[in-house]
Amino acid sequence: MTKQERVTFVINTLKELYPTIPVPLDHKDPYTLLIAVLLSAQCTDVRVNQITPLLFAKADNPYDMVKMSVEEIKEIIRPCGLSPMKSKGIYGLSKILIEKHDGKVPQSFEALEELPAVGHKTASVVMSQAFGVPAFPVDTHIHRLMYRWNLTNGKNVVQTEKDAKRLFPEEIWNDLHLQIIWYGREYSPARGWDLEKDIITRTIGRKTNLDGYKK
């Protein structure tokens, strides 16, 4: 298979498996999505979805969030891990949204990435899922699968994102990154990987990965 044929195979297989694509993090607007994505760093989406209702019951907008102290936020989000950093980030970005953006989440990568605790991946998720702007946020699943599928030699997520954007049509980025995440969780995890179930890797996988699996 040529690289283009492999790309087409990935697109078609994922479309078949995930014709409708659930969004992993529960939210109701751009602000609650931004907070949920920030909390998801080094934490499972399941855990985040258990904690955000507790936080949003007290504050689901920046104006209510800054009425809480960093310490109060930290207590609520503790189960998500990295709570000292994340609580400061949530309080700090809420303050900046009020002071600089009329309490609204800005619709640009630059403005989002200027907010405390918001990196490129978080900004990409918000831009794609809240505002429908084409983006390709690369998480651990996408990074792993793009390498397993021999579609990137990326040693880091920056390179993987570049390769993904080069290979896949822009109009499907927003759906595709979610489809790959779901596929990675269900069929091609890092641990407990069963190649028999993983049709994409079995068909187009990197030879070293396949040979390593057989051993």
For 97-162, the DSSP string reads: HHHHHTTS--SSHHHHHTSTT--HHHHHHHHHHTT--------HHHHHHHHHTTS---SSHHHHHH
For the chain, the helix, strand and coil percentages under 3-state DSSP, each to the nearest 5: 65, 0, 35
Active-site annotation holds for 139: yes
Local structure of residue 79 (DSSP, 8 states)? G
What's the sign of the alpha-carbon dihedral 20, 23, 24, 28?
A: negative
Angle at 93 between CA 105 and CA 37, to 5 degrees: 70
Active-site annotation holds for 207: no
CB 25 within 8 A of CB 49: yes
- Which is the catalytic residue, given 121, 155, 163, 207? 121
- Which is the catalytic residue, given 74, 86, 139, 198? 139
- Active-site residue set: 121, 139
